[in-house]
């Protein structure tokens, strides 16, 4: 990292003028949001990999999870680290960029170039902060649809993503069924559980309890709620792992010492690990964006738009689905995926389902999981043959 540091980008500058391509929209293409607000000047930052074929039929949209970004398979300019899904996407990989045109966009409400609370409000010239309208998963998908339109793509060959990205996949299939040939929702659910909302609220309260949060005006006042956001990240990160993974990696091992210090220092390796996760996170992510994006996940309930009947969200769909879960994921357990599959079956959809054996917890979809790679490669390959690609 140290040799890359001098060339790393400023996170605040990236919020408005990202290093990636940007699609900008004006009053002729407003974003109508679920909360009733209309954004008449907004932008969406994205990255692409591979080439769009002449028929524009090989595009795959990858939707990122809670703290992800558009740099799915390329270097992040803020952290200097590689893309967050390079195990899955690239030449010869399950999502083969020599065969498909891959698009990944930062979500609306994010902080890496798509309009969000860290962006400059064009009306005031100041950061939006908490004056930014509250965002939903459907808003994120509407913004992505506008981007896809701007790229001249009518139908997506596949929409894929895990966790919050999986929520977006499901919303795409429900909102734009004629535009999604195949869908790959991983480690996700059709609604956020009460337990998950509770975890998010603890994180939001940690951010808002930091004196440097300044009622969301910290960018204007030159402060940063780093401590609160760090604690929020630490708490959330625990939910992404399994007890088995934590025990295998850390157990009760002490950190750089042979005996307890009888203090509140980070005696255990797991404590040091979580502190590192928290500190590194605040360098790349905006605190207000954390509030907005977690709230979007909390509000997500796909069946609620269809009189509480999830199957109606997929009525008449021609989209091909592959739903996958992991045995050790307690954030989005297999029961959540089964509920999606049951609804798709009730709607008469083409759907395959696999529960993958893994002890890595929720984050397994981001890690080296050969069974996931085989599942993805098989599903995408079969869908490509069905589409004549």
Catalytic (active-site) positions? 163, 329, 362
Asked if residue 252 belongs to a known ligand binding site, the reply is: no
Q: Which residue has the tokens 């398979």?
A: 73
How far CA 177 is from CA of 227, 346, 376, in Å, comes to 43, 16, 21
Asked if residue 99 belongs to a known ligand binding site, the reply is: no
How far CA 246 is from CA of 253, 272, 363, in Å, comes to 11, 13, 12
| Main-chain phi, psi angles of 268, to 5 degrees | -95, 150
Count Cβ atoms below 10 Å from residue 16 Cβ, excluding itself: 15
3-state secondary structure the chain: CCCCHHHCCCHHHHHHCCCCCEEEECCCCCEECCCCCEECCEEEEEEEECCCCCCCCCEEEEECCCCCCCCCCCCCCCCCCCCCCCCCEECCCCEECCCCEEEEECCCCCCCCCCCCCCECCCCCCECHHHCCCCCHHHHHHHHHHHHHHCCCCCEEEEEEECHHHHHHHHHHHHCHHHEEEEEEECCCCECCHHHHHHHHHHHHHHHHCHHHHHHCHHHHCCCCHHHHHHHHHHHHHHHCCHHHHHHHCCCCECCCCCCCCCCCCCEHHHHHHHHHHHHHHCCCCHHHHHHHHHHHHHCEHHHHHCCCHHHHHCCCCCEEEEEEECCCCCCCHHHHHHHHHHHHHCCCEEEEEEECCCCCHHHHHCCCHHHHHHHHHHHHHHHHHHCC
Q: Which residues are annotated as a binding site for substrate?
A: 233, 363
């Amino acid at each position: 990292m140290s040799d890359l540091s001098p060339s790393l980008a400023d996170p605040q500058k990236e919020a408005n003028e990202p290093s990636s391509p940007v699609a900008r929209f004006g009053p002729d293409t407003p974003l109508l949001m679920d909360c009733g607000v209309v954004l008449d000047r907004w932008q969406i930052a994205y990255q692409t990999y591979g080439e769009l074929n002449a028929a524009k039929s090989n595009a795959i949209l990858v939707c990122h999870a809670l703290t992800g970004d558009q740099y799915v398979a390329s270097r992040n300019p803020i952290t200097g680290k590689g893309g967050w899904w390079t195990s899955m996407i690239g030449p010869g990989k399950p999502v083969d960029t020599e065969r498909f045109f891959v698009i990944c966009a930062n979500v609306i409400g994010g902080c890496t170039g798509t309009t969000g609370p860290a962006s400059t409000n064009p009306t005031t010239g100041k950061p939006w902060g908490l004056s930014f309208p509250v965002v939903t998963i459907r808003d994120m998908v509407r913004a992505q649809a506008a981007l896809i339109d701007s790229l001249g793509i009518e139908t997506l060959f596949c929409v894929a993503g895990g966790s919050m990205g999986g929520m977006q996949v499901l919303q795409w299939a429900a909102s734009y069924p004629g535009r999604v040939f195949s869908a790959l929702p991983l480690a996700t659910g059709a609604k956020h559980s009460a337990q998950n909302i509770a975890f998010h609220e603890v994180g939001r309260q940690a951010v808002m309890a930091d004196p440097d949060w300044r009622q969301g005006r910290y960018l204007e006042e030159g402060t940063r709620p780093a401590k609160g956001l760090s604690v929020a990240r630490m708490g959330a990160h625990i939910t992404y792992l399994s007890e088995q993974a934590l025990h295998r990696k850390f157990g009760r091992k002490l950190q750089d010492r042979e005996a307890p210090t009888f203090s509140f220092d980070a005696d255990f390796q797991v404590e040091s690990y979580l502190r590192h996760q928290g500190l590194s996170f605040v360098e790349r992510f905006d605190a207000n964006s954390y509030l907005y994006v977690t709230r979007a996940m909390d509000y997500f309930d796909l069946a609620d738009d269809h009189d509480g009947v999830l199957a109606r969200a997929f009525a008449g769909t021609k989209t091909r689905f592959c739903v996958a879960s992991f045995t050790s994921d307690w954030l989005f357990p297999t029961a959540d995926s089964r509920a999606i599959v049951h609804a798709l079956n009730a709607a008469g959809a083409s759907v395959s389902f696999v529960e993958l054996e893994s002890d890595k917890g929720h984050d397994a979809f981001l890690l080296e999981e050969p069974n996931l790679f085989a599942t993805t490669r098989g599903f995408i390959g079969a869908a490509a043959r069905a589409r004549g690609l």
